[in-house]
Structure 1
Amino acid sequence: MELDKNKIITIDGSRFSDLPGFYDEVSLVLMKNTDWKVGTLDGFDDILYGGFGVFESREKIEIRWKESQKSKEDLGLETTRIFYQNKIRQGKPFNIELMQEKLDSLLSGKGQTLFEILVEIIESHKNITLILE
């Protein structure tokens, strides 16, 4: 009887230091041989459902996030603050009130950083095991 081995996908935190760099990295490792690139948090969540890119829908996979501590710092409070401020400044199509609430929550110490949001997105997919290295 053959043991079910998870497909292992590695995100390398040493190869990026901001959110666009993260999107480039996950596009490279999750969307090989496709012309579609990740560019939003929703888009990142979408590709984790599988069925296009490097794994099938509901296929069990393991994501290893190397240099995750560096990513936690790179995608931490300051980067997240700027992320929300840019959305507020840009206005439509963004919900400015919601972005302001998220910014206020972040600055009061209650909100999530981009790193925490990305981890939560990954962990919301029951077929994916996340290992922070």
Structure 2
Amino acid sequence: MLNTSNNNTRKMIVINGGHFSSLDGFYDEASKVFMKDTDWKVGTLDGFDDILYGGFGVFENNEKIEILWKNSQKSQEDLGLKTTQKFYQNKIIQGKPFNIELIQQKLNDLNEGKGQTLFQILVEIIESHKNIILELD
């Protein structure tokens, strides 16, 4: 028998870049679309990665889902070079518990055109989950 499973069997979750212009705004949007009806809120990159495993939000562990990131070009600009530089600079200023040397290296890489922006980091986090298809719109 031919396996006819396709994307129609995947749950669609929409992140709308028009709803935010900062990393905190992204976390609010992610909390709303992934964790609705729960008290838990996304507040870190690791926390965002954690919810993508499923099981305590709008989809189950390893459930096949598709994420449609609307207005992704706006998000790419909003969470681009300047925002990422500020993100790392704030961590360096804050100090502990952050690894300042590692963060300084990430900032240096970014300034030399070798590092990832926050947008690229978020996309990489999503794509690291094999049960998730990401579509940038």
The amino acid of 1:29's aligned partner reads: V
1:13 aligns with 17
Structure 1 position 81 matched with structure 2 position 85? yes
Q: How far apart are the structure 1 equivalents of 2:50 and 2:103?
A: 21
Structure 1 position 103 matched with structure 2 position 116? no
Partner deviation per Cα, 1:10-69 (whole Å, 9 max, x = no partner): 000000000000000000000011000000000000000000100000000000000000
Q: How far apart are the structure 1 equivalents of 2:84 and 2:25?
A: 14
Question: Residues 44-83 of structure 1: matches in 2 within 5 Å?
Answer: 44-83=48-87
1:42 to 25, 46, 49: 46
- Note the residue ranges of structure 1 that are not aligned, 5 or more in a row: none
Coordinate RMSD, CA, aligned: 1.2
Which segments of structure 1 move beyond 2 Å, counting only runs of 4 or more?
1-4
Partner deviation per Cα, 1:42-98 (whole Å, 9 max, x = no partner): 000000000010000000000000000000000000000000000000000000000
Q: How far apart are the structure 2 equivalents of 1:129 and 1:3?
A: 14
2:31 aligns with 27
Q: How far apart are the structure 1 equivalents of 2:5 and 2:91?
A: 46
Structure 1 position 112 matched with structure 2 position 116? yes
- Note the residue ranges of structure 2 that are not aligned, 5 or more in a row: none
Q: How far apart are the structure 2 equivalents of 1:56 and 1:36?
A: 16
Q: How far apart are the structure 1 equivalents of 2:41 and 2:94?
A: 22
For normalisation by structure 2, the TM-score amounts to 0.95
| Residue 2 of structure 1: how far off its partner (Å) | 8.1
The size of the alignment, in residue pairs, is 133
Question: Residues 118-129 of structure 1: matches in 2 within 5 Å?
Answer: 118-129=122-133
